[in-house]
Structures are given as structure tokens and as C-alpha cells.
Amino acid sequence: MSLVDGAPAFAPAEWWPDAMLWLGFFGLVAAIAVAVGVWGLVGRLRALGERAKALEGIEEIRQALQRLLAVREELDLRRVEHLLLDLRDGSRRLEELLLRVPERAAAQDALVPAVPTVPGNVAERVVNRLLALGYERVELIGGAEELASLGQADGQVLVEARREGVPCKGRVTIRSGRIEAVHLQPAFPAFP
């Protein structure tokens, strides 16, 4: 080091200490910002880790769904539908046969009727027969006096009902207190 006019050869500028102070301050601010950013990232990583723990059961769910799909593919849905339709038709036929048994017994044994002939019973039997034949919303047209006379005599009961959503009208023939025939047709004829 050599001295020129009593000053050292290398002398820091007057702004140098201030610049170092500002540089240290910005460095400290940058370090704090980085620390806050790292702390935020660590918090997010923890939250993602907790969410990942909740999703660990997805693999089991996926396997269960694959098993269900494999079982479903084995089912022939058309065959199942046809079987259900056959069961429904069979149960209707069975119910109709079961309703006819007491009526046939009453016809064979006129002295001791199997079904008592009370007016409400005729209406109930007509409704039950039509329900067994697949009709819905059965309505008997006529008064209670007409139904009371049919409990002991022959006659016809006018009926309105629906079958598979189609309104039907017709009559039920009563002979000696039993149902002999059912004649119902759609209210609207089919067009060509």
C-alpha cells in the first residue's frame, strides 16, 4: 500500500457503506420472503399428503367396480326381463284360476253356495276378477240396487277400466250369482 497525499491508495467510496447497508437489508427481506414461500409450500405439501391418504381407498373401490361390471356383463338382461314377464303372466293366470274355483263350486252345488250372495260381494268379485285379468282403475257403472239384484238373479254389470294405460269399456255377465263372462274392449278402436 502506498500513500498519496496521506490517503491510502485504495479508499472506499463515500456511498459504499450505505450501499452495503441497503444490500444487507434487501438480502434480509429476500431471505424472509424465501422462508415464507418455503413455509407455504410445506403447508401445501402437508395438505396434499392428507388428501392423498383419503384417496388410498380408491383402488379398492375400482376393484369392486370391476367385479360388479364383470357380474353385470354375465347377466343377460333380456333373458331376465322375459323371465319376469313370464312370472307376472303366470301369477295372473293362477289368480284367475283361484278366483274361478269358488264360482264353479257354487254353480255345481246350487243348494249350498260356496260364495255367499250379498250385494257387496258381487261387486267385489267383479273388481277382483278384472284386477286378476290385468285391468286397473276398475269402475262399476250402475247403482247399488242393480248390484243387489244380481246377487240372486242373472244380469250384466257395466264396467270401465284401464289395461296398460288404455281405457276399456264393457260388461261382466252374472249368472246365478257367479261371473260367467267378461267382455271388455278398448274405448278407442285401433286405426289402420
Q: Write the DSSP assignment of the chain as a string of letters.
A: --EETTEESS---TTHHHHHHHHHHHHHHHHHHHHHHHHHHHHHHHHHHHHHHHGGGHHHHHHHHHHHHHHHHHS-HHHHHHHHHHHHHHHHHHHHHHHHHHHHHHHH-SSS-SS---HHHHHHHHHHHHHHTT-EEEEEES-HHHHHHHTTS-EEEEEEEEETTEEEEEEEEEETTEEEEEEEEESSPPP-
Q: What is the pLDDT of residue 115?
A: 42
Confidence of residue 71 (pLDDT cuts 50, 70, 90): confident
Please write the tens of the pLDDT for every residue from 112-160. 444 444 445 778 888 888 888 888 888 888 776 777 776 667 788 889 9
Average pLDDT, the chain: 78
Question: Is the pLDDT score of 62 beyond 50?
Answer: yes
Confidence of residue 4 (pLDDT cuts 50, 70, 90): low
Q: What is the pLDDT of residue 69?
A: 83
Q: What is the pLDDT of residue 46?
A: 92
Tell me which range, 7-21, 46-60, 104-118, is most confidently predicted by mean pLDDT: 46-60
Q: Residues of the chain with pLDDT > 90: what percent?
A: 11
- Spell out the domain ranges in the chain: 77-186
Note the pTM of the prediction, 2 decimals: 0.38
